[in-house]
Amino acid sequence: MIIAIDGPAGAGKSTVARELSKRLNYKYLDTGAMYRAITFELINRKLEDSEDLEKVFKEIIDSIELDFVDGDIVLNGRILTKEIREPIIDKHVSKAASSKVVRSFLSSEQRKLAINSPNTILEGRDTTTVVCPDAQVKIFLTASLDERARRRYKELLKKDIKIDFEEVKRQIEKRDKSDTTREIGPLKVAEDAVVIDSTEKDVEWVVDKIFSLVRNKR
């Protein structure tokens, strides 16, 4: 079975998907980490301000290898964890997310990874609409902007990343805008997705809810 969890930044998709994958013993595929890893490489090559990003992304895609180990992304043999959660990545990730060449490459990689494994939880914007529209369980996980900004702020503080709350909120708002308005694979609710609003709900509540949806499908 394929379970796809879609939704805006900071809705809790990663946490919920990780927990659910443990409970169901499913493979967990964090699609956002792939966009983040490509952005990491873009910054590493100091090409984030390039005039011709499509050309740069094409070169990056042709020269990197992406993989996953225990749910963490591996770029050219290097496991990336904290590095791809830095505010500098948040700032530039929409460049990778709105690139035609990156989206087409990653969508096809994600589809392959999902199909090659018998049970997978795919998490990320466009997983229910573009990557796996045939997933048996489709979830659109959301929460209010304030709540999503609070969660992201707490997460960053825990990782010792210093940033102002209002700045986190501004970045999330900006990403929402760019995610919902981009031409290819924009963030939207798939027709047959179950919408779950996690404002004022904890992770366990959301995981239980999806768990029971999965059980009913089996």
Q: Any known ligand binding at 7?
A: yes
Q: Which of 5, 24, 60, 93 binds ligand C5P (CB under 6 A)?
A: 93
Q: What distance in Å separates the CA atoms of residue 122 and residue 113, rounded to the nearest whole number?
A: 9
3-state SS class at 130: helix
Quote the CA–CA distance of 58 and 149 in Å, as a whole number.
33
Asked whether residue 33 is marked as a ligand-binding residue, the answer is no
36 near ligand C5P, judged by CB under 6 A: yes
**How many other C-beta atoms are found inside a 10 Å radius of the C-beta of residue 183?**
8
Task: Assess 125 for contact with ligand C5P (CB under 6 A).
Answer: yes
Minimum distance of ligand C5P from residue 179's CB (angstroms):
5
10 annotated to a ligand binding site:
yes
Smaller CB separation from ligand C5P, 146 or 212: 146
Nearer to ligand C5P, 24 or 30 (CB): 30
User: Are 6 and 31 in contact, with CB atoms under 8 Å apart?
Assistant: no
Q: How far is the CB of 53 from ligand C5P (least distance, A)?
A: 14
Residue 32 as a binder of ligand C5P (CB under 6 A): the answer is: yes
Please report, for residues 2, 155, 157, 161, the alpha-carbon distance to residue 165 in angstroms, rounded to integers and kept in the order given. 36, 11, 10, 12
Question: Binding site for ATP: which residues?
Answer: 7-15
